[in-house]
Structure 1
Amino acid sequence: MAERYVGIDLNEKYAMVSYYAQGMSEPGTFSMVTGSEAYQIPVCLCKKKDGMQWLYGEEAKRYAKEEKTVCMDGLLKKALASESVESEGTLYEAADLLFLFLKKLLTLPPQNGEEPLPEKIVITTENMNLEYRKLFGLFAERMGISSECLLLLDYRESFYFYAFSQQQELCRNDVVLYYYTVGKLFCWILNREKQTVPQVVTLEEKRYEAMLTERDEAFSRLVKESLKGKIVSTVYLIGDGFDGGWMKHSLAVLCCGRRVFMGKNLFCKGACYAAAAKSGKEDWPYVFMGDNELKLNISLKVERQGKPEFFTMITAGENWYEAGGECEVILKGTPSVEFWFQPPRSMEASVRSLELKDLPLREERTTRLRITAKPVAADRIVFRIIDLGFGEIVRSSEKVWEYMVTV
């Protein structure tokens, strides 16, 4: 059976759903109106007066208006704030309503046989912080979705996966996205270092105030300023701010030597591409270095079957919220553990030694250690080392060493 992936773009007002399976040339996006590009699904619910059915999206809004009942919206913001919502005298937890809405979205993509859920579900939001991760983690728990099945991205990372899943001529040089929505306009510029293996991709972000008057001329000036000195292959225009057909001169400026695309569903399609890339089924020769991504590979130098090698605890490019590593080793030599820190674009590494203070004196190779590395921020790692002893030969001292290392 071909693997299936679902990408959900979720914001305060709308959701969009893309789906991707082996054999498809690109992800498809579900439209609420067959044959159209009505991708945006309002994030709202309404319970029918007979109490037997929940409606969502445009159908919920329509029913609430016709029947003069409550349409519950703002579910994402209220769920993050742990608020309750009242409807027809009944109180509901906003998180429960949001989870019901998401569950309904998962029924939209074409089902394959009797498989109840896709192999990977990817949710992308403008900013994927810790509060969002806790909320969606609870959703996964309620749905019985494993941590391996759920992937959480922000829009920047979704853009990265989308951009580098396109034909090479579209990402040969820098790739730019303008994201224009209520009250704000972002410019994101992706650049890759072609000499490194894997190729390191960085994102430059510029933020601008919303253009209230003479938008065409204002955007023309903004484009010239933001792209000055850049060699750009492709530009993407995303967001409701670009609606209305107001771009005339600015579009001519954008299209000068560049390919330009406009649409709504880039982020949910990028989420599907992320699922495919992270599945490991195909080669992905890039590593993304965004604000939430770890900038260093962290390894232990170990000996396996008499030969030295490096055991990777944390890989550069992993999101710090999700990264972490654990291993068990036999201690050799001094009571300390050395960690090697190496940027992916460098051949050199720095070494930091963590002392195992008050570790009992023992014969060589009779101390087994459990070592864990867990980021608590993009630039801070907590290392935890536990003395396990050596089976029945040497009892554990039950000592634990914990170090916070800034990288």
Structure 2
Amino acid sequence: MEQKNLILGFDFGEKYSQFCCYDRGTHTAVSIPVKEGEEAVEFPTAIAKKRNEETWKTGPDAEKSAHAENGIWLDNLYEICMGSRICQIENRDYTPGEVLGTFLREALKMIGIERPDQQIQAMMITTGHLTRPFVENVREAYKIIGLPRGRAYLQEHDESFYCHVLNQKPELWSRKVGLFFLKDEEASFSELSISRKTKPATVTVKRGPKAALSIEPMERDRDFCHLMGEAMGNEIYSSVFLVSEEFDLAWADNSLRQLKKNQRRIFGGTNLFAQGACFSAREKVEERRLKGYLFLGNDLVRYNIGMEMTINGSPAYYALIAAGVNWYEAEKECELILDGTEELEFVVSSMESGKRNRYTMKLDGLPKRPPKTTRIRLRLEYDSPVTCQITAEDLGFGDMFPASHKIWHETMGEV
């Protein structure tokens, strides 16, 4: 693959990962084989390192190479990248972001992308659950492969499900859409629904029941049938998607028959999330096909945060965080001058109800100075959809009022 202006989706799975690329000719997201001329698109979420060298390799043959050459095989890559612990390999410390960046670099090489900074127009990584450490690790990884923030994106599987579904034929999402995700000995259900009562129309993905699946085929089929009955009942669904990292439904005879009731359209495979991520990346940098829809995901910040202050001599509202963005994109840093106060007051308003509340952060121990001679650096950053970390630092005011660099920190939850 030597094209430029590539739009990629990357599903970072616990065991297996895969890429999709947007095809501008067919307007579809196409899975990228791990080897030219072969059909396999998944490869282990793992990486091999040659001993005593900075030589790394990923892909379907990497484990074999590692064992044959007495190399190092990191098969707990997902676990490493979800956390913030330093990873020590051969007496050298690597941050999780460095490990993830190395994995991405080698994975892109595997599919023929040698210069990501020059070949990739946009890339979206998707995974099942986002943590603040993982968000930071992804940002570091994107820097390593040379992609700036405006071309490098991240989202959960729920949003990739939404992007995948709404890029299919409208008859497949005219009513509710179901998703079963099978992982190891467990299956979980999610339901996508659209409310067209507002403009834009709102889309939600609600997570439903989950169930353990037996390893014995007939019992596994019964377990899955029971879950389907609990999750879907006799509700009408336009379509149902079955997704698994290792897709094999040879055991699911009765389950599939039950799924096809009420003329449901059934689709199965491993690449739904990678395709959804690819469509979402396209949405970010090219045509906005979904501009008539608002995805109300679980990651969404639902409150606006701002401050009332004087700007250019006039009272004004200064917006800090706008509701309607995902929590891992909600951050703001600014500087302000205090006018005879030793506290910061934030105006917090609900996106849904419009109700306003005030939140006060006291700056205990702030050095005593005349009004308008204290400069504060303020930083707000969400670490979940409902908790915002607020940090304030005293910067003083030039040589006359030196900075103490005292730092105050608070966690603001829902108010």
TM-score w.r.t. structure 2 length?
A: 0.76
| Cα shift at 1:196 | 2.9
Match among 226, 237, 240 for residue 235 of structure 1: 240
| Cα shift at 1:49 | 9.7
- Judged with a 3 Å threshold, the aligned counterparts in structure 2 of structure 1 residues 388 and 226 are, in CA distance, closer, same or farther, namely same
State whether residues 301 and 340 of structure 1, in contact with CA within 8 Å, keep that contact through their aligned partners in structure 2: no
Equivalent position SS for 2:328:
coil
Equivalent residue, structure 2, for 1:74:
75
Q: Distance in 1 between matches of 2:87 and 2:282?
A: 35
Equivalent residue, structure 1, for 2:304:
297
Equivalent residue, structure 2, for 1:134:
136
List runs of 5+ in structure 2 lacking aligned partners. none
Question: 1:56-75 to 2 correspondence within 5 Å?
Answer: 56-63=58-65, 67=68, 69-70=70-71, 72-75=73-76
Equivalent residue, structure 1, for 2:34:
32
State whether residues 116 and 147 of structure 2, in contact with CA within 8 Å, keep that contact through their aligned partners in structure 1: no
- Judged with a 3 Å threshold, the aligned counterparts in structure 2 of structure 1 residues 360 and 228 are, in CA distance, closer, same or farther, namely farther
| Cα shift at 1:76 | 0.5
One-letter amino acid of the counterpart of residue 164, structure 2: Y
> 1:217-243 CA distances to partner (integer Å, 9 max, x unpaired)?
332221121012643222110114650
State whether residues 45 and 55 of structure 1, in contact with CA within 8 Å, keep that contact through their aligned partners in structure 2: yes
Q: Distance in 1 between matches of 2:392 and 2:318?
A: 16
Equivalent residue, structure 2, for 1:10:
12
Equivalent residue, structure 1, for 2:124:
122
| Cα shift at 1:288 | 3.2
Q: Distance in 1 between matches of 2:153 and 2:57?
A: 27
One-letter amino acid of the counterpart of residue 252, structure 2: M
Equivalent residue, structure 1, for 2:224:
219
Equivalent residue, structure 2, for 1:208:
211
One-letter amino acid of the counterpart of residue 258, structure 2: V
| Cα shift at 1:74 | 0.6
Q: Distance in 2 between matches of 1:291 and 1:34?
A: 38
List runs of 5+ in structure 1 lacking aligned partners. none
Question: 1:179-194 to 2 correspondence within 5 Å?
Answer: 179-194=181-196
Equivalent residue, structure 2, for 1:276:
282
State whether residues 121 and 150 of structure 1, in contact with CA within 8 Å, keep that contact through their aligned partners in structure 2: yes
Q: Distance in 2 between matches of 1:336 and 1:330?
A: 11
- Judged with a 3 Å threshold, the aligned counterparts in structure 2 of structure 1 residues 182 and 53 are, in CA distance, closer, same or farther, namely same
Q: Distance in 2 between matches of 1:342 and 1:308?
A: 22
State whether residues 179 and 187 of structure 1, in contact with CA within 8 Å, keep that contact through their aligned partners in structure 2: yes
Residue 261 (structure 1) aligned with residue 267 (structure 2):
yes
Equivalent position SS for 1:216:
helix
State whether residues 11 and 76 of structure 1, in contact with CA within 8 Å, keep that contact through their aligned partners in structure 2: no
One-letter amino acid of the counterpart of residue 32, structure 2: F
Equivalent residue, structure 2, for 1:315:
322
Equivalent residue, structure 2, for 1:143:
145
Equivalent residue, structure 2, for 1:342:
350
Equivalent position SS for 1:293:
coil
Q: Distance in 2 between matches of 1:249 and 1:97?
A: 43
- Judged with a 3 Å threshold, the aligned counterparts in structure 2 of structure 1 residues 315 and 258 are, in CA distance, closer, same or farther, namely farther
> 1:266-312 CA distances to partner (integer Å, 9 max, x unpaired)?
11111112222233742533333333322233455789999999764
- Judged with a 3 Å threshold, the aligned counterparts in structure 2 of structure 1 residues 112 and 33 are, in CA distance, closer, same or farther, namely closer
Q: Distance in 2 between matches of 1:327 and 1:46?
A: 43
State whether residues 12 and 74 of structure 1, in contact with CA within 8 Å, keep that contact through their aligned partners in structure 2: no
Instruction: Number of aligned residue pairs: give it.
Output: 398
Q: Distance in 1 between matches of 2:349 and 2:140?
A: 34
| Cα shift at 1:115 | 5.7
> 1:179-238 CA distances to partner (integer Å, 9 max, x unpaired)?
101122111112233223333333222221123342223322211210126432221101
State whether residues 9 and 123 of structure 1, in contact with CA within 8 Å, keep that contact through their aligned partners in structure 2: yes
Residue 324 (structure 1) aligned with residue 328 (structure 2):
no
